[in-house]
Each structure stands twice: as structure tokens, then as C-alpha cells.
Structure 1
Amino acid sequence: MGKKNNINYLPLFASSPYYSKKEFQFPITAVNKTVANTSVLKNNSGITLLYVRGGQGKIIINTREYPVQRGLLMVLGTYHYYQVQPDEIPLEITKCRLSYDTFLYMAANPYYRLYELRLNVDPISCLLDGRMLIRTEQVLDELVAVTAKHKHQGGETEFFLCMKLMGIMQKTHNNDLWK
């Protein structure tokens, strides 16, 4: 055993092994869906990032209705029961699911400073436009493609793309969107 100042003797709470776990699994899946009729009431055992690509309608979360339109990005937690209701035109939605542990892993990373994102009764939401809307859709397209390629085994690429989405959410979320 070496001395405590030796580079080979890592401190007990060193962050580098935590943020570079090679065996850590990132169970992240992303799919595009078309919702033509009212969906069944759902609850996930993890975190869901929901993005509306097109159409209009509403989403009912824990008995409260929220209007949805293109550019809406939401984070739904494990305590959010939700149901999607499109208007006459079907809703085009991208749904990204990740485990709660993965979300905590992202939120705990001090380099990303996700301290403003908290899971509340109202979903964390932002309404994107312009360059942020285009960038978000590019990231989601890549995330859906990578998820399909890895066949739900997960990997670091999905994790880093999801971190980009969380970064977009951090910069653009609006606490007053539903008031």
C-alpha cells in the first residue's frame, strides 16, 4: 500500500472513477410515435423525456391538462401518470426513457450543473423555437437512430445524447409555462 499523496493511491471519494465507469449501463431508449387516438394512462418506472414534433392536443398529467404543440419538451418523473390526447391531426411524439438511476447519475455530475432541474408536480417543460428547436430535433433524430442500432442494450452514445437534451432543458426550461 502506498502513501496517501501517491498518484496510485486514489482518495476514497475520487470523482474520476465514478464518472468514467466502463461497466456502467445506460438503459436509455428513444422512439418516434404517432398518436392518433387518446393513449392509455401510463406511468413509467423511470424518467421520460417527451418531445412534440408536430400536431396539437393536450397531455393530462395527474388529472391536470396541459396544451401541447410542436417544440414542447417535457421531463416526466415516476410519479407522473400521463395520457396523450391529440386534436384532429395526430401528434408526432419522440419519447425517450431512462432509469431514475441514470437521471441521478446525470444530475450529480458537477460539470453539467443541472442544479436547477428538479422533479416537481408540474412537469419540467420548455417550448422551443428557432435554433434550439432545430438542434433538439437533430439530437433526438440521432438518439432514436442510435437506440435502434443498439437494440435497447444501451451505451455511452445514448447517454451523451441524453445529456445534450438535459443541457437544452437546463438552458430553456420555463417554470411559468403552465401558470
Structure 2
Amino acid sequence: MELLDLLLHPVRLRIVNAMFGGRIRTTTDLCRRLPDVPKTTVYRHVGLLADAGILEVADERRVHGAVERHYRLSRERARIDAEAAASMTLDDHRHGFAAAMAALLAEFNGYLDREGADPTADMVSYRQFPIWLDAQEQAEAVAALTPLLRGLAEKKPRPGRRQLLLSTILFPMGEVEEGE
């Protein structure tokens, strides 16, 4: 299976998101993290990601006569680089966006379904900001945001930190009108 097909799937995308930040998880941990996904489905997708080298076995332990694998994310393999993105068709982009939105919706529903969910106290945000930029300004905005976002993504779990899901979406909304 090609990298794009592997990563542009809602369940696999959620597994990759759950593994970010240096987390080491078992498939059982992932099943608890994705309670809306059948266990057999989680196991199947973990197997696909492991076979492709996106998840690596960090440790193996014997538990009740079975081998329990502890996985970590291969950050190098778990990303679509500029070359792969440039090779994507319009349908690939459509499929990828749909997978990202499905994963985002599932994660948000999972958050709301948790006991004690408090969007106000948790500073939940789902605002959209239509902005007007020319090509140079857009490039400058992306160049300014990229180091900030990479720095945030590099932070490791520790007491007092909780994992947040930050999604950025940037695309043209329509044609440029004359005189604007």
C-alpha cells in the first residue's frame, strides 16, 4: 500500500495523531483511545502502519502467554513530504481532506463524549478566519507559522501537559474579483 493511501485514512490518521509526541502505545492503549472504532479495526490498521514502517516496535513483552508490542511513531515515515504532495491528484487531495475532516470530527466527538468535557474551560476553539493575502504574503505567513508549529509538535508528554489537536486549513475560497 502506498504512503498516501496509508496516511489518508481517517482511522489510521487518528492512530498517527495518538502516537505523536514520542508516545509509546500498545494496540490495547490505542483501542482505549479510540473507543468508537472496533478493536479488530484498530488491530488491522496498526498492522498496516507497522508493516509500512510508520509504526515501529519499541518493545515486546509477554502478557498472559501472548506477545504485547509497544509501538512508537516513525516521524520520518509518518508525513507526506513536499514531493509526495506535489504528486497528488485533485482526487487525492479531496480524499485526504475528507479523511482529515472525518478524523477531526471523530476526535471532537470523542472529546465531547468524555465525562467532564468542558469546552469553555478547555479553551476549545473552532473558529475560521477568512483572510486576504497575495502570494508573497501567504508564503511569508506559512514561513512564519511553520517553525512555531514544528516547535509545538516537538514537545514531549510530561506531567501537567495534555495532548491537544491543532488543525490548520488553508486554501483559496474563491476567485479574485476585479478591483480587489
Q: Name the TM-score, length of structure 2 as normaliser.
A: 0.32
**Whose helix fraction is larger, Structure 1's or Structure 2's?**
2
For normalisation by structure 1, the TM-score amounts to: 0.32
Name the structure with the higher strand share: 1
